[in-house]
Structure 1
Amino acid sequence: MWQLWSEGKSLSEIGRQLNKHAGSVFCYLQKSGGIKPSPPKRSVRDLSLLEREEISRGLSANLSFRAIARNLNRTTSTVSREINRNGGLSKYRAVAADRRAWMKAKRPKTCKA
């Protein structure tokens, strides 16, 4: 869709090629202001899936939070918070924790008021 839009095709032409109604194409383009959204990317400060798997392996090996944090070059509090917010010592799963982190990072956020 973005390629067709950048080539200057009309909404009707894009819709015909994608088997969608022109109104649907318009709504999708309108959400991003007609500019292709950039792919989501993780901040370097966030834990990666590999780091979460290391935490999971460390828990399986009965390592302390400090030992796990040392292996990851992270603070102990980072590892502790990660484990506690994602099921604790007995229920921590790296893939589920990573999926949850992506979901919580989505924008826009709903209003707290």
Structure 2
Amino acid sequence: MAEEETPVLDALADITAVSLERSTLEPRELMLARIAALAAVDAPAGSYLLNAGTAMDVGITLEDVQGILIAVAPVVGTPRIVAAAGNLASALGFAIAVAEAELEAEAEG
């Protein structure tokens, strides 16, 4: 039933899993490349959010993300980096809000 409720998210999760399985890159390198690609295509906050869990699971840190944005800035340009930083902040804020709501619900239940 859960798959019927979130078919798009489930498909995106499947695509991410297949990408990790089939890539010749180490998972950490793959996720760094994805973050760079997200910045390059001016991805929305939701795209960063969809990759955040996997990135954290493979050890990507805030410093890593900052380093990637600095590295690609000369290629993608200032507007894309500013947009990426804003979208990352929005995604992080959303993730924190969801986590806080889950903790609050657990405390009440």
**TM-score, normalised via structure 2 length:** 0.28
Higher RCO by CA contacts (8 Å cutoff, separation 6 or greater): 2
**TM-score, normalised via structure 1 length:** 0.27
The structure where helix makes up a greater share of residues is 2
